Amino acid sequence: MALWSERRPSDDFHRVLAPDGSLVGDPPELGDDELKRLYRSFLQTRRLEEKLLRMQRRGEISIIARSLGEEAVALGSAAALAAGDWCFPTYRQTAARAYWGSPVDRSVASLMGAETETVNEHLPPDEEGEGVVFTPPYVPLTVNVTNAVGSAMADRFRGTDTVSLAYVGEGSTSEGDFHEALNFAGVYDAPVVTVCQNNQWAISVPAHRQTAAETFAQKADAHGVPHERVDGNDVLAMYEATKEAVKNARDGGGPAFIEAVTYRRVEHNTADEPGVYRDEEEAEYWAERDPLDRFDAYLRREGVIDDDWVEAVGADVDAEVQAGVERAREVPESDPERMFDNHLHGEPSWTARHQRAELRAEQRGENPFTDFDGSGL
């Protein structure tokens, strides 16, 4: 028996494509090449995450977080950025990286545990230098907003017209950092767009159990930040809403907040078992609203793609993913001490020194957890 009941969110949001792929609004002005690029990024994300899951099951990767059924949030919003803009992703924005050509080999090598310095020594550099600038994905998601607001203000002081895009989950909107950052952005008109990926679950807590707000979008009201609720399974709606928000921010109009309504059909990450706290009926409902199926139906109806094109692109994506994984497997393991290489402030802190001592004790085959204050090491 499931631990939690679920409440389906209302669908009074911005939408361009109905779940069956038919148009219910005016589509954005995108050419065939751009639409095909979006489709290819969809495919690459799915094929890569399927591969990563198999690698995790074999023990090559310790943990991954998939975005199955949520890809349109990252894909549509990231596609609205321009070269030179900043993107602050979480672990569920694989599609954003795919769209902007992030190398598969470097991403996989990092997931396999290689430190950045080791990756740089053994894999070709990321030559997409003229694209969007991605920060590393942060596990404490809420700091994405504070960091993105800081980034946006720095760019504004430098006199550039770049925009920062931050992603958070709906659970992050219950934390203090989120409100402090949004308040700052509202007061100082920071050129930043925040996308809340509302997938209905903050790990194992359903949305209705972690906030009493009617919507997550309305939380931006308290900070004077314009907001919009969007169908997160509609890649064209996500693109359209983010494009307008990014343009407004770039033109000096200040921040925006977008609630992207979607659903987490799979586990939070591979350390999670959702079967102990929810049933599968709701996941099946959302599977029928799959964002790739919806986009596929639309493009076929418009004559943009057909079976031959999809088959050819699928084969191309599979080859790219496999080649990237093979190169990543050639990267040697990093020296564990490298995790201490980079410090923001002068001499290593007591905590850093203690963690290093714990690591060395473990490498000697000793129990590193013999005390709390480090006096026993």
User: Mind telling me the catalytic residues?
Assistant: 264, 268, 277
* CA gap 344, 323 in Å, rounded: 35
Closest CA to 263 of 24, 92, 16, 95: 92
Torsion angle of C-alpha atoms 114, 118, 121, 123, degrees rounded to 10: 10
Closest CA to 137 of 90, 94, 103: 90
Closest CA to 4 of 287, 368, 218, 276: 276
Q: Give the number of C-alpha atoms closer than 13 A to the C-alpha of residue 372, restricted to the C-beta side.
A: 0
What is the pairing mode between strands 205-206 and 192-198?
A: unpaired
Nearby residues of 284 by Cβ (< 8 Å), 6 or more positions away: none
26, two tokens: 């005016």
Closest CA to 102 of 71, 128, 74: 128
- Give the type of residue at 108: V
- Give the type of residue at 135: T
Are 299 and 309 in contact by the 8 Å Cβ rule? The answer is: no
- Give the type of residue at 124: P
Are 278 and 6 in contact by the 8 Å Cβ rule? The answer is: yes
Start-to-end CA span in the chain (Å): 47
Alpha helices in the chain (DSSP H): 32-57, 71-78, 94-99, 104-111, 116-122, 143-158, 176-188, 207-210, 235-250, 281-287, 291-301, 307-329, 350-363
